[in-house]
Amino acid sequence: MWKEQIDLELERVKTDQEKGTETMVLNLGPQHPSTHGVLRLVLELDGERVVHCEPHIGYLHTGIEKECEYRTYHQVVPLIDRMDYLSSLHEEMGYVLAVEKLLGIEAPKRAQYIRVMMCELSRIASHLVWLGTGALELNVSSVFMYCFRDRESILDLFELISGARMFPRYFRVGGVMRDLPRGFEDAVKQFVGEFRVHWKEYHDLLTKNPIWRMRNEGIAVLTREQCYAYALTGPILRACGVAYDTRRAFPYSAYPEFEFELPTQPAGDAYARYLVRMSEMEQSLRIVEQVLAKLPQGPIVAEGLQPSSKSERSVWWRHPHRGFLVPPGESYVTVESPRGEKGYWVVSDGSNKPLRVRMRSPSFVNAQALPLLVEGGYIADAVVAIASVDPVLGDVDR
């Protein structure tokens, strides 16, 4: 018996030697600093080359979709904040819009403007984490520190409006939680002024840096057809030269009223994604400035939804514990999150709890395409590829 096994083993070694190569399986993650969370990649290596890659996910699965079915409509908002924890406001935006569509109401103009402004600030904060950690992956630790400094200013703004830094639960069905505090607009203006300067600094530090370019250019290349096949959206798609953005294609909230460009790059590699995201931050600043210039006065919660009003709907609000009833039906709303297109499918059965809340999370879809980016490249570039996709594992695993 043992002799047969030895013979088999010798046979295998001999054939491997004839081929001159032997592959090795390497487990990257789930506890690895460069996988941006608990992502696990099982890599098959031939020397330094990755020949096969299989992502394993689910380490952060918390069953949020199941939990949502047991909560009233407003109790869902703090839950979904925990999914894409770097841009919670985009989660809230998608969910709140979907429920508003079911109810057939629309938030007042001031609330819509505030939502757009907070979402764009959230996008900048999220991209700053991507830039900082992506740079840290390549050992540029100074950029990491600078980015987190600016992100901290945005989190301070979130704290001003809602009292919470990372999970603001600020959007409500029909409006926002409360009006902007005194001095908030000046604080945003100050941030925009400061960040413009810092943004140029990051460009100076990285964009023409030869090491940064060598490590990013031509790495993790995707084509347009691959993006369509794998349903990739967001900066990854725009870095392949497709000017597609939900804010433009299916405008929601107050976005049609603001001017912004869709930055695209033709190359489809990690460097193109870097350039796209950098330009997106600038466009977000533009939108924030326009909101501040045009911010209308008025109510922040849809008519009849204020607790003080005497209309029929305010009955829902007298029993916050009971929640409110939503007429049966379903709605699918997509919003543009920093990682791509976020879809919310909310199904109501007429009760005070949703029958189903489905999140089409962009990180989940993007993580599926990781083998395309990693296979065929060097293992050192796998780290760059993961960083360029910018997965948030809370969003992947839900």
Partner 1 sequence: MGNPEHVTQAVAQIRGRYPGAITGEEVIKSGLRMLVVKKEALLDILALAKEQLEFNVLYDLTAADYLEREPYFHVIYLLHSHTQWVKLMIKVKLERENPLLPSATRLWPSANWFERELYDFYGIRFEGHPHLKRLLMPDEWIGHPLRKDYSLTEEPVQFKGVRTHKLPSEVIPKKYE
Give the number of residues in contact with partner 1, rule: CB under 8 A.
52
For residue 106, the one-letter residue type is: E
**Is 67 near partner 1 (CB under 8 A)?**
yes
Query: How many Cβ atoms are within 10 Å of 213's Cβ, its own excluded?
Result: 14
Shortest distance (Å) from residue 369 CB to partner 1 = 8
The single residue among 129, 173, 291, 333 that binds partner 1, judged by CB under 8 A, is 333
Shortest distance (Å) from residue 50 CB to partner 1 = 19
The single residue among 187, 330, 376, 378 that binds partner 1, judged by CB under 8 A, is 330
| String marking each residue 75-94 x if it binds partner 1 according to CB under 8 A | x-------------------
C-alpha–C-alpha distance, residues 2 and 8, integer Å: 10
The single residue among 61, 109, 198, 213 that binds partner 1, judged by CB under 8 A, is 61
For the residues of 125-192, what is the DSSP string, one character each?
HHHHHHHHHHHHHTT-HHHHHHHHHHHHHHHHHHHHHHS-SS----EETTEESSPPPTTHHHHHHHHH
Residues 244 to 273 in contact with partner 1, rule: CB under 8 A = 244, 248-251
**Is 184 near partner 1 (CB under 8 A)?**
no
For residue 307, the one-letter residue type is: P
316: phi then psi, degrees, rounded to nearest 5: -55, -35
Residues 104 to 163 in contact with partner 1, rule: CB under 8 A = 104
**Is 47 near partner 1 (CB under 8 A)?**
no
Shortest distance (Å) from residue 57 CB to partner 1 = 7
CA 225, 228, 231, 233 torsion: positive or negative? positive
**Residue 255: DSSP 8-state:** G
**284 close to 276: Cβ distance less than 8 angstroms:** no
Query: How many Cβ atoms are within 10 Å of 163's Cβ, its own excluded?
Result: 12
**Is 356 near partner 1 (CB under 8 A)?**
yes
| String marking each residue 204-243 x if it binds partner 1 according to CB under 8 A | ------------------------xxxx----------x-
Looking at beta carbons only, is 103 or 301 nearer to partner 1?
103
Q: Show the CA angle centred on residue 175, arms to residues 173 and 179, nearest 5°.
A: 140
**118 close to 126: Cβ distance less than 8 angstroms:** no
The single residue among 63, 139, 182, 312 that binds partner 1, judged by CB under 8 A, is 63
CA distances from 289 to 7, 139, 158, 245, 302 (A): 73, 34, 17, 20, 25
Shortest distance (Å) from residue 249 CB to partner 1 = 4
Contact footprint for partner 1 (CB under 8 A) = 57-58, 61, 63, 65-67, 70-72, 75, 98, 101-102, 104, 228-231, 242, 244, 248-251, 321-323, 325, 329-333, 341, 343, 345, 347, 349-353, 355-356, 358, 360, 364-365, 368, 397-398
